[in-house]
Structures are given as structure tokens and as C-alpha cells.
Chain A
Amino acid sequence: MSAQTHPASGQIAQGQIAPIHTDQAYNFAYLDEETKRMIRRALLKGLAVPGYQVPFASREMPMPYGWGTGGVQVTAACLTPDDVLKVIDQGADDTTNAVSIRKFFQRTAGVATTEQTTVATVIQTRHRIPETDLSEGQILVYQVPIPEPLRFLEPRETETRKMHSLEEYGLMHVRLYEDIARHGQIATSYAYPVKVEGRYVMDPSPIPKFDNPKLSQNAAIQLFGAGREQRIYALPPYTDVVSLDFEDHPFQASKADHACDLCGSNTAYLDEVIIDDAGGRMFVCSDTDYCSTRRAQGHVGRLGTAQEHVA
């Protein structure tokens, strides 16, 4: 399992597996070994100081920045030949973004892939945490567009670094204050800021705030990669993560007040989908693996039918 893998595994992969499965033009998982070592050092530092943003020398990847090059580089540095990779985008395994990243690692690393959360050893994600509880030994890699939670009100990098080092986080609450003043409640619904182990304030990437509670005390290793901004940060297993709030406006992990129309789940995060020209709508789990697993178990929602009918 990758969480316990020794650092030389990349080289073993190159020697033994690459000739069978991967494109010869690339090193295992595309990045050269030196780059992967550099990224692993940043990851270890990040794990040692949870929530702290570690600078790293982000490499050009054969895909545009918006496609999660930070996450891709972190995944590349973590993958070993035995890993089973899952890639999700907004909870779904089948979006263009997820499919192309999955293909990229199939081609460059020859690793097995899966859509099943429980089977995966490494999960790269954009905008969601899987509904199914993760377990020890799994790694969740987040794609991060803007790693700096203080950027919103303080554009100067020198100043935000100082604020982190001196724990001057009053500005985060100014941001939430502004939200309440303007909208009557904390309207921030994704990338909702958190405090890690009572120390660093961290941007959890644009996951819905519904997912924030899953950041805390998670059994998996959580790694965050921002490619354009060249930052890596991390949460080791079982880290305390608290969403910022006010005493009289406590944090709420909200979701649409519906059940999934396909699998009937009352607890999963839902996407609203327009289903016909008359403006008909349905709510479905954003986590496609979770939804199909439930349907396979016989759960049926309001609009659900026989499990094999809804692909």
C-alpha cells in the first residue's frame, strides 16, 4: 500500500513494470525521480506541520493548470506500481477531467484504476471527499486552485506568510463577518476555511462545506497540491480540523434538503440535475460510486428503477 511504500519503488517500477504497461517515452508516473523526491520531501514536511503551506518547484505538466496539475504531481510522487488509483471530479469518475487524469496515469504508470472508493489506495479528487469513510493506508489527493485562505483580504504574500507564522488570523473572521453582513448568514459554501490542530488556518480546496467535517479525524492521509501557486500542504491521519465560525452563527455542513432520487440516500451530498425541456429536476448523489453501490445493494429513490436500468 502506497502509504507505507519505500521511496525507491519508482525505480523498481521503471525496471520491471514499465516495459509491459507504460509508454516508454516517460519515467514511471511521468515525473523524473529527482522531481518526485523533491515533491515527497515537501509532502513529508507538510505532514510534519499539518496545514502549513510548503513551497515546491512545480513542474510543467502535459495539461493545462485548471486541470489540477498540483494534484497530478502529488499523485505522481505517491504512486507505486501496486497502487489502485481512483480519480473523481465533483464526485464523479466519468467527467472529462477525471477520465483524462486516470488515462494519464494508466499510460505513464501502468497502475490499476477503479471507481470503487473502498478498493482505491490513492484517490485524486477535485471538489469532493467521497461519501464512503476512508480507511488507514488510503491517500486522498486534492487539486487546489488557490491555497492561501488569507488571499481574499490580504493580497501581499509577504504579509500573509507573516500572519501565518504569528497566528494572526483575525482577518479570516472579517471575511466571515462580511458574509453575514451582506447575506444574513455565512454564505461561503465551498472552500470554507478551517483551522488545523488549533494552529494553521487552511483552505480545504473548493470542496462543499458539507464535506468539511470529513476532513477532521480522517483515517486516510490527505494531501493538497496547488500547481500554479506551487504549494503543497497535508493532513496526517486523525488530525483535528475545525471550521471557523461565530458563536452566534455556528458552522453548518449544509446540503440540499432532499433525498437522492436514484438511491434514496438522505445523507449524501446532492447535485441538482435538469432532466427535461420542461424544466423538470432531480437530485442525485454527486458521489457516483456511492450512489451506484447503494443501488446495487437494492436501495431505490423516488425516480429510481431497477439498478441495471440506471447506468
Chain B
Amino acid sequence: MTLHSTPKPQTAPGPLLQVRGLEKRYGSRIGCTDVSFDLFPGEVMGIVGESGSGKSTLLNCLAGHLTPDCGQVIFDTRTAGPCDTVTMGEPERRMLSRTDWAFVHQNPRDGLRMGVSAGGNVGERLMAVGARHYGNIRDQALDWLSRVEIAAERIDDRPSAFSGGMQQRLQIARNLVTGPRLVFMDEPTGGLDVSVQARLLDLLRGLVRRMGLSAVIVTHDLAVVRLLADRLMVMKDGRVVEAGLTDQVLDDPQHGYTQLLVSSVLQV
């Protein structure tokens, strides 16, 4: 303890996430390999590539749903600073998943409790970290439903009574209610109609910007990364073949495979 409070030296914040040499195999088949990147606070990283290129495998390794065969996933924790989430204990990793991390699944059924009301779905993470005041939980649920444009009177309805777009917006609310620092999304607009996709993207963009969220978004849809991602990684056969700022990669692709991806979009 010092008597005079000296200001802490101001240093630029380090990366929120540092991925080093990540590999996951399914038997002899490569899921993803040799993946390394940094994600800084407030940054959105897009991961694109055709089906089977290893995007979901990579995302699930980052989020602790799959155990990689080698490599590190170092997350800057609030309490202990940078920690390798691959080697940390399961209790700590599960604690991160319901506090600092969020995971938005492509299929809302995988990310929602279909037998629980919309309010209960949003409130679950609050209760998981100790909220014990019903009125406060409900107020926060109402606030988040309005932020994802779900009418307040639907709060006691089950998600099975919602449209696909509403379910996805509910899943997002349920994930963001505890103010996570890092959001993983796997094809968040995947199963939706085009018009519904546009509305959801718009909403996501607003939330990401306003909350200053860091995110890793997996998609095969280049329009999604164009709108949301600051940086981009292009994957093929489990490897990152090109990485850079989104606009640069999309407007001036270097790798042949990226050029193919971009041109196939332009043809649509």
C-alpha cells in the first residue's frame, strides 16, 4: 500500500484472445490445423470458408466445446489475466462460458430452452451467476427483449411459439444479458429467410457497436462479414489460407481460393 495514489502506467490493452497453433483432428481427418491469431477488445473477427472447411471445429475449440489436440487458446480473464483455456480446469472454463463468453448457435433450438418461457430463457444466465430477485430479473429480461425487438407481452411465451427470426433474437438476448466480453457465433443468420436475415444482421451490428463487443463470427455468407467483421480469416481444408482487414480481403483477395469465394458471391 502506498499513501499517495500514483496513477497506473497506461498501456495499450493486450489481446483479449490469443490463439496459437491450434489443431483438432477427427481420427486421421483434419478438423482444423495450424490456426493462430489475436483478437483485440472490441474487435469482430469473421471466419469464412465453404462447408467442411473447419469453421465450426475451430469455433468450438475456441469456446471450449471441443478439446483441441494441440495449441493454445489464451483468454484475458478478469481476475487472473491471460490464461490458456485449453488447460484450465473445467469448472473455470464453464464459469467463463456463462459469464464472459457467449455462444450463439445456428439453430436456436441448440441455444434455447424450448420448454422455458422467453423471460426464463433470458433470465437463466442472471440466475446462474447469483441473481435472486425475481422483479429485477424480470425487468432485465424485459429490457433485453425490447433490445432485440420482441414485444414485452411475449415474455411468458415459450420460444416454440416464436418464428425462426424471433427465436434467434431471443437466443442473442439470452446470451448478451450478462454483458459477456467475447461472443462466439456459428452461422447466426444461417437458417433464416433473406429478409429476416437482413433485420437480424442490422440488429447484431447495432448491438456489437453499442456494447463494444468482441466477437468471432463463423459464416459462409460474405455479406455477413462485410457488415459485421473488422477482420477476416479465410479457411480451406482446415487451414487459414488468407487473413486481413475485411475490406482488403474482400476487395483485393490474394489467395486463389478467396478470389473464387468472392467472385461466386459477385455472380449472385
Contacts and interface: CB of A to CB of B under 8 A. Distances in A.
Contacts of B134: 177, 180, 246-249
5 contacts: A153-B113, A153-B116, A171-B128, A174-B116, A178-B120
A182 B132 contact: no
A301 B117 CA distance: 45
User: Interface SS of chain A: helix, strand, loop or mixed?
Assistant: helix
Q: Which of A168, A170, A174, A182 has the most CB of B within 10 A?
A: A174
A25 interface: no
A311 interface: no
A153 B115 contact: yes
Given A177-B134, A246-B132, A170 B119 contact: no
Given A166-B94, A174-B120, A178-B117, A248 B133 contact: yes
Given A153-B113, A166-B91, A166-B94, A247 B120 contact: no
B202 interface: no
Interface string A118-162: 000000000000000000000000000000000001000000000
Interface in B106-121: 113, 115-117, 119-120
Given A246-B134, A248-B133, A248-B134, A170 B120 contact: no
Contacts of B125: 170
B124 interface: yes
B223 interface: no
Contacts of A168: 94, 98, 128
Interface residues on A, range: 10 to 19
10 interchain residue pairs of minimum CB distance: A170-B128, A173-B127, A246-B134, A170-B127, A247-B133, A166-B91, A181-B156, A174-B124, A174-B120, A178-B120
B132 A247 contact: yes
A203 to B, nearest CB: 19
B137 interface: yes
Nearest to B126: A170
B135 interface: yes
Contacts of A182: 117, 156
B117 A181 contact: yes
Nearest to A185: B134
Interface of A: 153, 166, 168, 170-171, 173-174, 177-178, 180-182, 246-249
B247 interface: no
Given A168-B98, A246-B132, 7 more contacts: A166-B90, A168-B94, A170-B125, A177-B123, A180-B134, A181-B117, A246-B134
Contacts of A173: 127, 131-132
B265 interface: no
B129 interface: yes
Contacts of B123: 174, 177
Interface in B78-123: 90-91, 94, 98, 113, 115-117, 119-120, 123
A178 B137 CA distance: 12
A201 B135 CA distance: 23
Nearest to B125: A170
Nearest to A176: B134
Contacts of A153: 113, 115-116
Q: Which of A177, A246, A247, A248 has the most CB of B within 10 A?
A: A177
Contacts of A174: 113, 116, 120, 123-124, 127
A120 B222 CA distance: 75
Nearest to B137: A177
Nearest to B115: A153
B86 to A, nearest CB: 18
Contacts of B119: 177, 181
Contacts of A181: 117, 119-120, 138, 155-156
A177 B120 contact: yes
A249 B133 CA distance: 8
A249 B102 CA distance: 29
A248 B134 CA distance: 6
A3 to B, nearest CB: 36
A99 to B, nearest CB: 39
Given A166-B91, A166-B94, A168-B94, A248 B113 contact: no
A181 B137 CA distance: 11
Nearest to B156: A181
